[in-house]
Chain A
Amino acid sequence: MEQSFLTTKISEIVAWGRKYSLWPMPFGTACCAIEFMGTVSNMFDISRFGAELVRFSPRQSDLLLVLGTINYKQAAILKKIYQQMAEPRYVIAVGACATCGGFYDNYAVLQGIDEVIPVDVYVPGCPPRPEQILLAIVKLQEKLEAEAKGKQAKDQLRAKAQILDSARHSEFKGTFVPGSQTTSGEKH
């Protein structure tokens, strides 16, 4: 007992804590939100990754999950919600609509939420499988860890990319989650 001790850096232990206690806030506007319901419930169980405490207030959460189509009128609301979240805050764009507008190439729909807020992880699919959403969370955890280890001077990027008023920014690129090949949850 006397000999069990651990050395680490404060930033790393903070990141370790953060990694497994992400509090998501779902911003569900369309069908992808249904997929999130699947992700949080027993079949896929998001709590295995420590992100089960879903909050419906941006002030109490640090992970913004954008699930669904965002149109121009919603864009301002989304931006407001992002601004209300306290740092550190992370954003996952779930589904084709949130990442790039999806098949709604028209007058009303925002072509990707990265036109208004910075995005950490993009999840493709229409809708993505729950495994892909879980993979996105794992990718975000990896990113958090890498950030603490100083692999990326992410804070600088984040400061630059703060809230974007103009076009898509190029320096702040999120991670791309490939289509999940797993088929669990099919035959239950």
Chain B
Amino acid sequence: MELNALSEQFKEAILQATVRGGQGVVECQVAKLHEILQFCHQSPVYQIDVLLDVVGVDYLGKAPRFALVYLLYSTNLKHRMRIKVWVDEKDKVPTASDIWHSADWAEREVYDMFGIHFDKHPNLKRILLFEGFEGHPLRKDYPVNRRQPIPEIEEKL
């Protein structure tokens, strides 16, 4: 695994690129995120065909506040990459669901838990929590003992 091809292609959009334990670790700007993901997907050097997960992290008190980590894998070359971007609450992050379908639900989960919005996502709504849930529980400022109204089952006759 080497990241030269990526660094050369995107130059200053890449904030950091190292290889740790055989895994490519890339930090990049959110503006170029979609292009970088697209590049990883299409370039013969990386051949990333699986998006394993999209993970949100809340660094409360920092600016920008959130980080998104894309965990990538190539079934052909058997290598892994980790792409990290820093985003703020109001940022519109480009969706990766047009590149990998698995991004659809992963991004919905991030939206559900952290309230990060994904631009052009086909169906951005809650996935794990119920309708009517207020707030985003994995944010560090969500009160631990906050309770929500108990949902009702709708009768479908």
Which A residues have a C-beta under 8 Å from some C-beta of B? 72-73, 75-77, 79-80, 105-108, 110-111, 115-116
Instruction: Say yes or no for B130: interface residue by CB 8 A criterion.
Output: yes
Instruction: Write the nearest CB–CB distance from B87 to chain A, whole angstroms.
Output: 22
Q: Which residue of the partner chain, among B142, B145, B148, B150, contacts A76 with CB atoms under 8 Å? A: B150
Q: How far is the CA of A76 from the CA of B132 in the complex (A)?
A: 13
Q: How far is the CA of A39 from the CA of B72 in the complex (A)?
A: 47
**Cβ contact within 8 Å between B150 and A77:** no
Instruction: Say yes or no for B152: interface residue by CB 8 A criterion.
Output: yes
B residues 98-157 touching A (CB-CB < 8 Å):
129-130, 133, 137, 142, 144-148, 150-153
Q: Which residue of the partner chain, among A75, A106, A115, contacts B151 with CB atoms under 8 Å? A: A75
Q: How far is the CA of A73 from the CA of B127 in the complex (A)?
A: 12
**Cβ contact within 8 Å between B148 and A110:** no
Instruction: Write the nearest CB–CB distance from A81 to chain B, whole angstroms.
Output: 10
Q: Which residue of the partner chain, among A77, A105, A107, contacts B142 with CB atoms under 8 Å? A: A107
Known contacts A72-B130, A73-B130, A115 near B150 by CB under 8 Å: yes
Q: Which chain A residues border B133 with CB–CB below 8 Å?
A: 72
Q: Which chain B residues border A107 with CB–CB below 8 Å?
A: 137, 142, 144, 146, 148
Instruction: Write the nearest CB–CB distance from B143 to chain A, whole angstroms.
Output: 9
B residues 8-23 touching A (CB-CB < 8 Å):
none
**Cβ contact within 8 Å between B145 and A110:** no
Instruction: Write the nearest CB–CB distance from B46 to chain A, whole angstroms.
Output: 37
Q: How far is the CA of A107 from the CA of B130 in the complex (A)?
A: 12
Q: Which chain B residues border A110 with CB–CB below 8 Å?
A: 150
Give the residue name and chain of the B residue nearest to A73 (CB).
Answer: B130
B residues 68-107 touching A (CB-CB < 8 Å):
none
Q: How far is the CA of A80 from the CA of B146 in the complex (A)?
A: 25
Instruction: Write the nearest CB–CB distance from A80 to chain B, whole angstroms.
Output: 5
**Cβ contact within 8 Å between B147 and A111:** yes
- For the complex of A and B, the 10 pairs showing the least CB-CB separation, nearest first, are A107-B137, A76-B153, A75-B150, A76-B151, A73-B130, A80-B153, A76-B152, A72-B150, A72-B148, A72-B151
**Cβ contact within 8 Å between B151 and A108:** no
